Chains A and B, each alone.
Chain A
Amino acid sequence: MAESVCSRPSNGGTILADFSQVLIDGLMNGAIYALVAAGLSLIWGVMDVINFAHGEFLMVAMYACYWLGSLLGIDPLFSWVLTGAFLFFLSAASYLLVVRRCIGRSAMAPLLATFGLSIFLKNFCLNRFTPNFRLLSGTIMEGRVLHVMGASVPLPQLVTALFSLVVLGCLYYFIKRTRIGWAIQATAMDREAAELMGIDTGRIFTLVFGFGGMCVGIAGGFMTSYLAVFPEVGALFSLIAFVVVALGGFGSIPGALLAALLIGLVESFAGFYIAPVIKYVAVFALYVVVILIRPKGLFGW
């Protein structure tokens, strides 16, 4: 038996360290869920369209970031700009080519169209990139861990979480304080009235779809620094994003943030203090309870 180069790390299993670790994990995961869900919330709230391809947009962003990193050597710290822009155009193009034709028809039409789009994107990536798991190595943040109150805080997740808050702040400012933002709000409230006021709602819808894609593009760009990329990666994230949107209230950015942080904390605390296997059970139970009490979600219109 060859002795390893150093002794085993000591166990930092104190009650306070455990608590702070669980709290920080919950907040970080929640902030990341918020950014993934923000785009979905925007599209759902403004256009009343459920974008079933949202998880696959996340997956495409992660692949884009992975290839930018592995082929061109661009670190996720910088490539998020490119993945965000790429997803803006991909999402806007999806609206113009697929979703636009379904608006104003049966409620099922855009739902099925985006469902078809999700299957297309997933199978396209499966076919082109194989189902292999791809991990981006050698990134600037890789392996860097901060230690706060006995808790280990991985830098990639921390940066992703903090950046999520910044992007959500910018998005909120954009919706609430700019003329285009007001036009988006007006379109969400009453499309016909907005058109009578001279707002080109078709362009607003394109823009909203684009912004929705951009949010998930930025999230995917950062997440590639610590998560494996593969065609199924978006599945559970998109499910949680749907819960975040419904819990927070359709179209509400602060609602999405609060709901996502709540879900992150419930997942983390239930996972550690009850049992890891029930962490998603707790998340969906919380959703059911909130929806029973307040069907429009916490901040719903």
Chain B
Amino acid sequence: MFSGGATTCARSRRVLRSCILAVIFLLAAGSAFAAEEKVIKIGALFPLTGPAAVSGQNCLAAVQTAADIINGKYDFADFPLASKEGLLDGYRIEIVPGDHQGKPDVAKSEAERLFNQENVFAIIGSYNSSASKPASAVAERLKKIFMCGASSSAELTERGFNYFFRTAATDNIESREFIDYIDYLNKNEGAGIKTLGLLYENSEFGKHAAEEGKSVAAGIGLEVVADVPFTVGATNMSSEVQTLKSANPDAVFGAALGSDYSLMVRTMKQTSWAPKIFINYCTGYQNPSINKELGSDGNFFMGGMGYSPEIAEVYMKAALPAQEIYRAKTGFPLDSDSIQESVCLHVLAQAIEKAGAVDTEKVAALLRSETFPSPLSLSGQVAFSPGGQNNKAFTVITQIVDQKYRTVFPESYADSELTYPFPAWDKR
């Protein structure tokens, strides 16, 4: 009896051991199967928390929108890779998010984590120019591709990097467009704009934008009478706006992101001051959620934009279905910043498809040499110059009227007349 019991017990143990071994085997086989699944991991490195979190999360949603379109099957007209499921022979894109909190040091370590631990094929990012700079240096050192969407500091593409590609227009391009417009207004409309003020955040982005603004202003004899950098995330902007008010420039170029932008607008209203014309770089101006909160106070400000729902209705109809996928994720239409991150993934996916392999060198070589169709770009195309700047990128100048972005320049794209000068705050 006892020996029989012992035998049964030993048999049970053997069965249990076999079961455990079988489970381990199945798990191992499963993970091996999973490893063989055709996935291309792409890092999406943005400020998902911190002062620029709104824009960072919008950028991530835009990248995920692009991944949805590439991975799924859609009958979007004139949209590369939409009609086919995945890439190559069944690869799909997997987005691996990274959060740099708007801090350059965190951006660097997150880029290293994404490449070394997550084994991403490329990184898309990083919204803040100050974060894109160190993160892309990591990619360059590892000879990995870094696709940059909305970071607009011109210096990023002046470093001679081989694996860095930026789709958006730079501050330099925007500054020239602003100055062209002011020159046009002075010559054709007698606007009498003679002096310029600059209000910008004291960061990589802000300082470079201001430098570009100052250098092109000299070209048409615009005198810079106020140069006002400010601390990001300030508790108030009284001194900044008071300094501008005191110098009273005819035109102001602004570079304030997120909460700083809304604080700036409200402080201007409280001090009852505005220049004749206020044009913004790639800033809080372009964020629909900020402008919704500002309501009518946000009216009559201006800015350079590569996209707005109003522009898309006329010139970028192919982008509208993508906008609906994005809207389902965020509740807002695509904006001029976040759409550039979508463009990055669409262009990268086309390069991978064309290369016929998930091979960094082949894909990078194609990115350097080819011109890619891009329904989410105003020009409809993307092509990179040496250094990685998209030489097809340009923006139009818009003005918010009735809380809608109206295009005022260049004339070929204009759908509205400019309201000039900026109406007094108490009589709007």
Contact = CB atoms under 8 A, between A and B. Distances in A.
Interface of A: 1-9, 11-13, 18, 21-22, 25, 29, 33, 123, 126, 130-135, 137, 143, 145, 152, 154, 157, 226-228, 230-233, 235-237, 240, 267-268, 270-272, 275-277, 279-280
B202 A228 contact: no
B420 A145 contact: no
B228 interface: yes
B269 A2 contact: no
B238 interface: yes
Contact of B50 (A4, A12, A154, A232): A232
B400 to A, nearest CB: 14
Interface stretch (B73-81, B133-141, B257-265, B341-349): B257-265
B51 A279 contact: no
A3 B269 contact: no
Interface stretch (B32-40, B240-248, B301-309): B240-248
Contacts of B51: 232
Nearest to A13: B246
Interface string B394-428: 00000000000000000000000111111111011
Interface string B154-177: 000000000000000000000000
Given A1-B191, A9-B272, A272-B242, 11 more contacts: A3-B420, A13-B245, A13-B247, A18-B242, A25-B239, A126-B49, A126-B53, A131-B57, A143-B269, A271-B240, A277-B229
A25 B262 contact: no
B420 A4 contact: yes
Contacts of A131: 49, 53-54, 56-57
A2 B263 contact: no
B420 A1 contact: yes
B243 to A, nearest CB: 6
9 contacts: A2-B420, A3-B420, A4-B423, A25-B239, A135-B295, A145-B272, A227-B263, A233-B259, A280-B231
A248 B53 CA distance: 34
A34 to B, nearest CB: 13
B61 to A, nearest CB: 11
B205 interface: no
Nearest to B231: A280
Interface in B272-326: 272-274, 276, 289-290, 293-295, 300
B397 to A, nearest CB: 13
A279 B231 contact: yes
Nearest to A155: B270
Contacts, number: 150
B235 A240 contact: yes
A154 B266 CA distance: 10
Contact of A133 (B54, B191, B420, B424): B54
A219 to B, nearest CB: 12
Contacts of B424: 6-9
A63 B103 CA distance: 25
B106 interface: no
Interface in B365-411: none
B1 interface: no
A4 B422 contact: yes
A257 to B, nearest CB: 17
Contacts of A11: 245-246, 248, 273
A1 B417 contact: yes
B8 interface: no
Nearest to A272: B239
Contact of B262 (A5, A22, A228): A228
B243 A276 contact: yes
B245 A268 contact: no
Contacts of A235: 233
B267 to A, nearest CB: 8
B271 interface: yes
Contact of B240 (A134, A231, A276): A276
Contacts of B236: 25, 29
B277 to A, nearest CB: 10
- A-B pairs, top 3 by smallest CB distance, nearest first, are A271-B239, A131-B53, A154-B270
A2 B242 contact: no
A231 B53 contact: yes
Contacts of B121: none
Nearest to A36: B235
Nearest to A270: B239
A231 B245 CA distance: 31
